[in-house]
Structure 1
Amino acid sequence: MKKTKFLIATAILGIATFVAIAADHIDAPAVAGGTSDITDFYAFQGENTSNIAFVANVQGLLGSGSATQNAAFDENVLIEFNIDTTGDNVEDLVIQAVARDGKMYVFGPVAPSQTGLNSSIASNAANQVVVDITPYGQNAIVETSGGIMAFAGPRDDPFFMDFNRYGAIIGGVETEFANPGTDTFAGSNVMSLVVEVPKSMIGGSGTINTWVESKRKQ
């Protein structure tokens, strides 16, 4: 795969020791309803406590059935996990993923060739995984290479939010959320990318800063 420049489309920031969660469902006008819209970002310690998992969900509010079955990762969009190990809020490592012909190509963790808004795919990275994108309704396809595991495909939206109750609170009709409330996202799906890597590939100890970006090919 040749080097291709990508320009940032949207980003979500999180800070992780063991768990980071951020969510944002299609409220950014530039990407609303588009294939680069990030809905959720998670970073957490893996079941194997020597690993850390990074999860990016895109294309939120996909309906069940044909809407999800016809959904696909945009081949012109790069998904990039950024990892800051020195506390200066500048990425020291990136994990990059781009779809091609029904497969997701994952590169890194690797030091980026440049930081900030523009990126080039690190196609010569020592750490690489290629995984078939799991079709809707089928068991998860997971590939492992060099201790890195990767999955890409449709999944149920994991985020819980009672928007009707939220609206009532904002409007002054209610004062608190109901318990358990009604999940507005029930029955909706996302396109999900999951990459789990050994902590030893990230280096450092204690807290890292991590965020995810989607970048569209220019």
Structure 2
Amino acid sequence: MPRTPRILVALTALGLGMTALTPGSAAASSHREAPAIAGFPQYDNTDLYAFVSPDRPDRVTLIADWIPFEEPAGGPGFYPFATDARYEINVDNNGDAHRDLTYRWQFTSTYAREDRVFYNSGPVTGLDDEDLNFWQTYRLEEIHWAADGSRTGTDVLAEALPVAPSNVGAASMPDYRALRDRVIRSQHGVTMFAGQADDPFFLDRRVFDRLQGGGPSGAGRDTHAPYNVNSVALQLPISRIVRDGDPVVGIWSTTSRRTSTGEYVQLSRLGMPLVNEIVVPIRDKDRFNASSPAGDGAFLRYVTDPEVPRLLEKTHRVKAPATPRADLVRAFLTGVPGLNRPARVTPSEQLRLNTSIPPTASPKRLGVLDGDEAGFPNGRRLGDDVLDITLQVAAGELAGAANDLGDAVDTNDVPFERSFPYLALPKSSSSRTVPAAPASAAALTVTGVAGPPERSPAADVSDDLVPLGAAVGGAGLLAFGAAWLWRRRLAGGS
């Protein structure tokens, strides 16, 4: 982020604005889902996952992602975690809408030498490689809270553990998997990871356009496929996070930024996916991101009388269920009785997981809607098709109104891993296909520009990339103009 006066003013304004907000409610944050956070990607929660580990069913895995739309070729600075932020995963294990446990990450940046220009100066084969010019480490704390919000204890789970570097490309990091695997650590009974990963949220984001009058489904292209995110992941014993024999826990992630006074102001929050996008009105999205689950009752009307079902009725001829929507209250605020509702519950927006339900050997992408109780909305696995599930639930699937709404994207573009951290490796600039350049200069004429060359289907992953030839040509013209002006000035011209 360039350090221009405009950016500094925006940062200050955001800090002051968020400080002025009072707790009211909260909802799921995601990719650029609210006006304020859209301009601050380092603090933007993109997704949250919680599931009983398929290969270790006595343990639960928690994953949180930040920084949406990381272009793999986004050098030379690439994508560090913010060093003035607290990245947190919070756990409510008694249903009272207050956090009982917090897992908090704070990151530190290190530069090898101040005179190095790029992220790396040659092939990087290890975390301590002298050609790696920038790296990050993290501190991880497990914080215990009392019912009144006071801290009762803190356990330091990690100190100065390495973060996996951004995947620059095949020439810079010839064996990226080896680098990623070396940052996976197990200590104090917890397995942990922090670093870059392929964006695991698969969907066709054009569905938000189609909700305004498009066809009955999306075009079936995973619009997140080209991008990465920054992720943290934990795998820990289920017994470590449950309480008083109740196997259900509520989970949400938050990001807070340090102000000039040293205080931390919450900028983003994420529990259930897509709630902020398709439930919360625009005017309240920032307020939701700055608040906590305890105040969610103040925004109950957005759940009981949502707008999206009315849009679906108008554009897709799927009749909107009658209001008030008790089915959505169960799905988003209390948990479903007999599935993932705590023994005692205060209605609040959290990702609720019943840790006593074992993982299945054959997961179904529609989770509970397709009879798979180990899937969403009972927690969230990487392979759960939450967009299709959310659209179908919004249109009344849980209230007996069967429908097949969806975006025609059923799986991630690359397979997930079978062991912790389960996330797919991040894409690099080497794995992206860019549009082909013109075959020769003869393709450009004085009277016009020839049509674009044919492209392979793989090239469609990026419709908005500028052809390299045009960029180089523009740079050449600028250089020529600058040289001409400089020569005139040396010759005494004006």
User: TM-score, normalized by length of structure 2?
Assistant: 0.36
Task: Give the C-alpha shift of residue 183 in structure 1.
Answer: 0.5
Q: 1:81 aligns with which of 89, 103, 107?
A: 89
Classify 1:72/1:12 alpha carbon distance in 2 versus 1 (closer, same or farther; 3 Å): farther
1:146 aligns with 2:188: yes
Aligned to 2:155: 126
Aligned to 2:141: 107
1:136 aligns with 2:191: no
Task: Give the C-alpha shift of residue 173 in structure 1.
Answer: 2.7
> What is the RMSD of the two structures over their aligned residues, measured on CA atoms?
2.8
Q: 2:254 aligns with which of 203, 213, 218?
A: 213
Aligned to 2:206, the other structure's residue is in SS state helix
Looking at structure 1, the residues matched to 26 and 61 of structure 2 have their Cα atoms a distance apart, in angstroms, of: 16
Q: 1:74 is aligned with what amino acid?
A: A
Classify 1:136/1:12 alpha carbon distance in 2 versus 1 (closer, same or farther; 3 Å): farther
1:172 aligns with 2:213: yes
Looking at structure 2, the residues matched to 115 and 75 of structure 1 have their Cα atoms a distance apart, in angstroms, of: 29
Aligned to 1:32, the other structure's residue is in SS state helix
Task: Give the C-alpha shift of residue 12 in structure 1.
Answer: 7.2
Higher-helix-fraction structure: 2
1:156 aligns with 2:227: no
Looking at structure 1, the residues matched to 45 and 223 of structure 2 have their Cα atoms a distance apart, in angstroms, of: 18
Aligned to 2:32: 26
User: TM-score, normalized by length of structure 1?
Assistant: 0.78
Aligned to 2:46: 39
Q: Is the 8 A contact 1:68 1:189 kept in 2?
A: no
**Most deviating of 66-75 and 76-85:** 66-75
Q: 1:152 is aligned with what amino acid?
A: A
1:81-129 per-residue CA deviation (whole Å, 9 max, x = no partner) reads 1111111110111111111131121111x3137977xx99x9x733412
Looking at structure 1, the residues matched to 154 and 239 of structure 2 have their Cα atoms a distance apart, in angstroms, of: 16
1:1-40 per-residue CA deviation (whole Å, 9 max, x = no partner) reads xxxxxx999x976xxxxxxxx6611121221141101111
Aligned to 1:194: 233
Aligned to 2:209, the other structure's residue is in SS state helix
- Which segments of 5 or more consecutive residues in structure 1 lack a partner in the other structure? 1-6, 14-21
Classify 1:142/1:158 alpha carbon distance in 2 versus 1 (closer, same or farther; 3 Å): same
1:54 aligns with 2:62: yes
Aligned to 1:126, the other structure's residue is in SS state strand
Q: 1:83 is aligned with what amino acid?
A: V
Classify 1:30/1:12 alpha carbon distance in 2 versus 1 (closer, same or farther; 3 Å): same
Q: Give the greater-gyration-radius structure (CA).
A: 2
Classify 1:126/1:32 alpha carbon distance in 2 versus 1 (closer, same or farther; 3 Å): same
Classify 1:112/1:197 alpha carbon distance in 2 versus 1 (closer, same or farther; 3 Å): same
Classify 1:33/1:68 alpha carbon distance in 2 versus 1 (closer, same or farther; 3 Å): farther
Task: Give the C-alpha shift of residue 201 in structure 1.
Answer: 1.4
Identity %: 25
Q: How does 1:89-100 map to 2 (within 5 A)?
A: 89-100=97-108
1:182-210 per-residue CA deviation (whole Å, 9 max, x = no partner) reads 01111111111111211121132321111
Looking at structure 1, the residues matched to 76 and 65 of structure 2 have their Cα atoms a distance apart, in angstroms, of: 13
Q: 1:206 is aligned with what amino acid?
A: P
- Which segments of 5 or more consecutive residues in structure 2 lack a partner in the other structure? 1-17, 110-135, 168-175, 264-494
Q: Which has the higher contact order (CA 8 A, sep 6+)?
A: 1
